[in-house]
Every structure is written in C-alpha cells, then in structure tokens.
Amino acid sequence: MPGFAGNVNKIYMPVPTVAELFANGQSPDVLFWVGCSGSFDQRAQKITKAFVTILEKVGINYAILGKEEMCTGDPARRAGNEFMFQMMAYQNIQILNNYNIKKIVTACPHCFNILKNEYPELGGNYEVIHHSVFLQQLIDEGKIRMQEGTTFKGKRITYHDSCYLGRANDIYEAPRKVLEALDAELVEMKRCRTRGLCCGAGGAQMFKEEEKGHTRVNIERSNEAIATGANIVASACPFCNTMLTDGVKLAEKEDSVQVLDVAELVAASMA
C-alpha cells in the first residue's frame, strides 16, 4: 500500500491514495489535501501524521492524492506569478474532477482558502473544510473522545489566529472549541481574533527575505504568545507553526513553551 514516509523518526504510515481506491471501484468520502508543507517539511510532517492518526482512529473513509497532488499555486499567485498559479490550479482541478472528488479537508489555511475561494472560478467546485472545523465536527458528533485527565489538563494554552483562517474566512470559534475539549486553560493574546497579528509568513513571505524594519514579525508575535504565560502555543497552520517555533527558539523558551498544531493536541489526547 502507498504510504506517507513521515517524520524525522522515519516512521512509515500506510495511507490510501485515491488512485488505489479508484482502481478497486471505490472512492473516498473525504480527500485529505496534504499540501507542500505537510508533505515535505519535517516539522509539518508531524502534523500530517497526527491528523492521519485521528482519521484512522475515527474510521473516516479518506485518501490522499499522493504523487498526483501538486502545489495549489497559492504562493505563486501571492507573489504575482498568475501564469504559474493557473498552470498548477488547472492541473489539480483536472485530477480532482477526474476522480469526482466532492469533499476536501486540509490542515493548511493557505490551501483551504485558495481551494475554497479561488478554484471555483477555474472550474474547481468542492466542499472544502479546514481540519480545525473538521475536528470540531467530529468532537461534537462524539466520534472523537478524549482520555480522562488528558495530557494537557491544567496546561495554559494560547491560540494564534492564522490570517487565512481568521480574517480571510471568519473561522475563529472552531479551533478554540477543539482546544476547550482538552480541559486546558485557554488564554488569549492581546491581539487575537479579528485583531490577530500575522505570523510573518503570509503572502509568500515564507519563501523570501524580510523587507527592512526594526523587528521581525514572527518575533513580535512569538513574544506576545510567551507573555501570556502559556505552556503551549497552539496553531492551525504549518506556516504559522514554523514562524512561531522560530520565535520561541530565538527567545530561548524552548524548554518551557511548546508550539503545537491543534491536530497534534487532539491526537495526543484521544481515548
């Protein structure tokens, strides 16, 4: 079976591909769109592994595109390369439509935003769900059950709002409700929800040098998170996770502050 050769520990996870199901006359109820970070970045691979672990435990009929998945083209479009974006988008749409994909879930707000809001004008019409919303739905339906006295009971957690999840798509409550299910203390940063501060990676900034300025955005944001006294900084975006992790390292707070995705928190707490 095709699989996901995951994290830094080289753990191999068998994961079904759409092509494999299709060859057997089957199709997934949910396509898990892994994204570039979730596929290739060693830190983000751990998020992918955690989410797949949840899907497996709950018994979701899911699959990934595997090698057929191309970048959504979001960084190209944000950087101004419309031609490259459309080439990538049309190829993805052709593959998705050929497989008759209806429902997509992704752990990346950048992938979520572009698949949901920008692919339709090119012929890609799908129900697109961010994994934080999907997790909340599974918790509300009783399909995800937490251990008694979860790993994070009594911990202080602060949540960082991703720009593409929050301001771009008005998703603020779902990730917070997921965190509340952990029986932890949720503390807010001064700038949160509609006033949340960017991590510094959006608009293709993840892949280029910063412009001149006095303070790197991710350092300022990480310092705000640390100032809450939280033990854990929760995010729902692999880009945000990278930027906040770097900020915590620069502040030399690695021993006392963890940066974790909501999927990692849930996977570690499930019964």
Strand partners, 31: 63, 104
Same domain for 125 and 11:
yes
pLDDT category of residue 183 using cuts at 50, 70 and 90: confident
pLDDT category of residue 156 using cuts at 50, 70 and 90: very high
* Mean pLDDT for the stretch of residues 53-63: 97
Same domain for 223 and 124:
no
Same domain for 151 and 127:
no
Q: Is the pLDDT of residue 219 over 90?
A: no
In a domain, 141, yes or no: no
Q: Is the pLDDT of residue 117 over 60?
A: yes
Q: Is the pLDDT of residue 116 over 70?
A: yes
Q: What does the DSSP assignment read for 241-257?
A: HHHHHHHHHHTT-TTT-
Residue range of the domain that includes 129:
3-136
Residue 77 and residue 119: Cα distance in Å, rounded?
Answer: 12
Q: Of 136, 157, 174, which marks where a domain is finished?
A: 136
Q: Of 72, 103, 136, which marks where a domain is finished?
A: 136
In the DSSP assignment, the letter for residue 14 is E
CB 182 within 8 A of CB 221: no
Q: Of 116, 136, 156, which marks where a domain is finished?
A: 136
Q: Give the pLDDT confidence score for residue 9 in this predicted structure.
A: 42
The region, left, alpha or beta by phi > 0 then psi within -120 to 50, assigned to residue 212 is beta
Query: Which CATH number fits the domain that encloses residue 175?
Result: 3.40.50
Same domain for 130 and 78:
yes
In a domain, 102, yes or no: yes
Compute CA distances 36 → 40, 70, 107, 208, 263, whole Å: 6, 8, 11, 16, 17
Q: Give the pLDDT confidence score for residue 184 in this predicted structure.
A: 87
> Both tokens of residue 175?
């990730």
**Alpha helices for 68-108 (secondary structure H):** 74-78, 82-98
Q: Give the pLDDT confidence score for residue 208 in this predicted structure.
A: 58
The predicted model scores a pTM of 0.90
* Mean pLDDT for the stretch of residues 80-88: 96
Q: Tens digit of pLDDT for each residue in 23-40?
A: 999 999 999 999 999 999
Same domain for 81 and 191:
no
Q: Give the pLDDT confidence score for residue 3 in this predicted structure.
A: 44
CB 23 within 8 A of CB 58: no
Q: Tens digit of pLDDT for each residue in 220-264?
A: 888 899 999 999 999 999 999 999 998 999 889 989 999 999 999
- Average pLDDT value over all residues in the chain: 90
Closest alpha carbon to 104 in 152, 144, 69, 58: 69
Same domain for 99 and 195:
no
Same domain for 118 and 39:
yes
Same domain for 26 and 119:
yes
CB 45 within 8 A of CB 81: no
